[in-house]
Amino acid sequence: MKVVRLQLALPAAILAIVFSGVGRAADTSAPAFSERDLQAKIQYCTYCHQPSGQGYRGFTPIPRLAGQQTEYFKNQLQAFIDRRRVNNFMFKVAHNLNPEMLTALATHFSDLNPKPLGGAPTELVATGKKIFEEGVAGANVPPCATCHGPEAKGKGPFPRLAGQIYPYIIKVLGNFDKERGQDPANPDISAIMKPIAHSLTESQIAAVAAYLSNLE
């Protein structure tokens, strides 16, 4: 009698294992995060980058995320995670985000389009426009529009610059090699900007930043 019971029990146990495996396989198709999780992450981002992703002008300028190219957005968050772009705060923010969440956040902010905060010196705009459209031939600086587009809205891995915070652009271009491209063996598209940023003078950087910060 015990033998019969054991024989009956074995198929039942095997079926239980099989179906439990099927259940686990099915779970892989479930969303990697909930809508509630996404909204919580968005809210966290907006504490610094502001509700409409317009950025913040302050002692430490915080960049505009609104309207940013999704590919560039994801690339840069991954660069923070990989320590190829150095920012300890952003590493803590980004390192636990899965690829699906990175895509969802990038998509959310790319769809926003608030007015730029502006505030840059208007007398520099004309010079900045000329550099953006024509480059600086004597310094081997190509037109910014070549990669960032005629309206500075970027494309794919090339970031949108239109409406970006004036002091933030100055900060980035003036410290490019101290923050970006920290793993030469694993560079990203931002490596293109390193020699260009080095070739621009402080006054040229200020002019370009003034022009870009007022673009919508």
Does residue 90 sit in the same domain as residue 129? Answer: no
Residue 166: inside a domain, yes or no? yes
| CA atoms of 53 and 63, how far apart (whole Å) | 8
- Are 143 and 193 members of one domain? yes
Residues 83 and 135 in one domain: no
Question: How many separate domains does the chain show?
Answer: 2
**pTM of full prediction above 0.75:** yes
* Size of the chain, expressed as the number of residues it contains: 216
Mean pLDDT across the stretch 97-126? 95
pLDDT at 31: 63
Range of the domain at 205: 122-213
Position 77 scores a pLDDT of: 95
Residue 155 lies in a domain: yes
On the question of pLDDT at 9 being above 80, the answer is no
pLDDT band at 177 (very low <50, low <70, confident <90, very high): confident
Whether 170 and 210 have beta carbons less than 8 Å apart is answered as: no
CA distances from 167 to 16, 124, 170 (A): 62, 14, 5
Same domain as 157, residue 82: no
CA distances from 151 to 32, 94, 148 (A): 35, 29, 8
Structural domain includes residue 4? no
Q: C-alpha distances in angstroms, 193 versus 35, 176, 178, 208?
A: 36, 8, 13, 14
In a domain, 25, yes or no: no
**Radius of gyration (C-alpha) of the chain in whole angstroms:** 24
CATH number of the domain within which 49 lies: 1.10.760.10
- Residue 18, in any domain of the structure: no
**Shared-domain flag, residues 202 and 142:** yes
Give the list of residues 6+ apart from residue 44 with CB closer than 8 angstroms, or none: 93
The predicted model gives 190-208 an average pLDDT of 94
Same domain, 104 and 128: no
Indicate whether 195 and 126 sit together in one domain.
Answer: yes
Indicate the DSSP class of residue 150. T
Percent of the chain with pLDDT over 70: 86
pLDDT confidence of residue 189: 81
Does any domain span residue 9? no
Q: In this structure, is residue 176 part of a structural domain?
A: yes
Whether 115 is covered by a domain: the verdict is no
Is it the case that residue 24 has pLDDT exceeding 80? no
Query: Are residues 42 and 106 located together in one domain of the fold?
Result: yes
Same domain? 49 vs 103: yes
DSSP 183: -
Number of H helices, E strands in the chain: 11, 0
At 30 the pLDDT is: 56
How would residue 45 be classed by pLDDT, with cut points 50, 70 and 90? Answer: very high
Backbone angles phi, psi at 158, to 5 degrees: -90, 125
